[in-house]
Amino acid sequence: MLFNEQTAQRVLNNLKTSLKKVFDAAFEAAPSQWDQVAMEVPSSGASNTYAWIDKFPKLRKWVGDKVVKQLSAHAYTINNDDFEATVEIDRNDIEDDNLGIYKPQTQMAGESSKQWADDLVFTTLTNGFDEKCYDGKTFYATNHEVGEGKNKKLVSNRLNVPLSADTLAAAKASYGAARTMLRSMRDEEGRPLNLNPNLLIVPPALEDTANALMTVDRLEDGKPNPYKGTAKVLVVGWLKTDTEWHLHDASKPVKAIIFQPRKKPVFVQQTDTSSDSVFMRKKFKYGAEARGAAGYGLWQMAVGSTGA
């Protein structure tokens, strides 16, 4: 390919168009699951602060002045980070029409960009046994505080039992216990949150067990399966362990995890022929950039078990 001072910009523009088409096709084709467990809260700055996160406004009988829900003293802040995926192209490959070798890299950059949110959301989810949420407790904890003063109670959304479909007793002690935890959640005034445990999130190692709980008529011990069809199974490769499992209410606008995009993935290029990269090393760069983060929303919407 003729590549000189007169043709450089036209060639590079055509190359960008070609690579972006490959990138966009891979982006669209890549699977994504993050929106099943997280709510999107766009960001317009370096971070977002979620002072409202622990309040559940509900209709009450209006007698006298309205009761205004005060913002929490908790200052839960999620800071945005920068992300990138870059393909570096040698000028010799442009001149020699040897660009096919970059197609797989560009496709992987597109797929990675599509799954950027998944990576953020599910990494946050699997870290919930160790990282803190808005109340200063780990997201999955046995001692979340609900209510104030004499009405304060400690509430758990954490289990340490393996997911099991072996017997009715084992199913009740694992999946059944998690369902009971979620359905028993109340707000700080003692009113039921009426949660619907409808999403069972598992690693690939627990896929068969989770599917059995959701589909078989009878468990391994021959007893009727009371949990058939009660939740959707979501198999997630980002989970850190082969034993953990999570049960969420994913039916409401507010969810357990927050996805906070500041800048969603965009295709970028560095093709200035006078740049140091090109002049010194003959390298042009194409890729994607994004900015954002994920964090914890309402722990009340989720129960997690280490499975240990």
Using one digit for the tens of pLDDT, what is the confidence trace for 271-303? 776 667 666 777 888 888 999 999 999 999 999
CB 268 within 8 A of CB 223: no
Q: Per-residue pLDDT for 168 more than 50?
A: yes
Which CATH code is given to the segment(s) 8-57+71-305? 3.90.1690
CB 145 within 8 A of CB 154: yes
* Cα–Cα distance, 156 to 137 (Å, whole number): 11
pLDDT band at 9 (very low <50, low <70, confident <90, very high): confident
Question: Residue 105: in which H helix or E strand, if any?
Answer: helix 103-114
CB 218 within 8 A of CB 225: yes
Q: Provide the pairing of β-strand 245-248 with 199-202.
A: antiparallel
Residue among 84, 55, 87 at smallest CA distance from 71 = 55
Between 4 and 178, name the one with better pLDDT.
178
Quote the radius of gyration of the chain (alpha carbons, Å): 25
Q: Which amino acid is at 227?
A: Y
Summarize the confidence of residues 172-187 as an average pLDDT.
96
* Cα–Cα distance, 178 to 172 (Å, whole number): 9
Tokens representing 201?
Answer: 């999130």
* Cα–Cα distance, 300 to 187 (Å, whole number): 9
CB 23 within 8 A of CB 267: yes
Question: Residue 234: in which H helix or E strand, if any?
Answer: strand 232-235
* Cα–Cα distance, 198 to 177 (Å, whole number): 14
* Cα–Cα distance, 122 to 142 (Å, whole number): 21
Q: Which of 55-69, 90-104, 173-187 has the lowest mean pLDDT?
A: 55-69
Tokens representing 299?
Answer: 């722990």
pLDDT band at 106 (very low <50, low <70, confident <90, very high): confident
- So what's the pLDDT on residue 105? 84
CB 87 within 8 A of CB 18: no
Mean pLDDT of the chain: 87
* Cα–Cα distance, 45 to 40 (Å, whole number): 15
Q: Which of 15-19, 203-207, 238-242 has the lowest mean pLDDT?
A: 15-19
Tokens representing 14?
Answer: 């055509």
Q: How far is CA 265 from the centre of its chain?
A: 16
**Domain residue limits, the chain:** 8-57+71-305
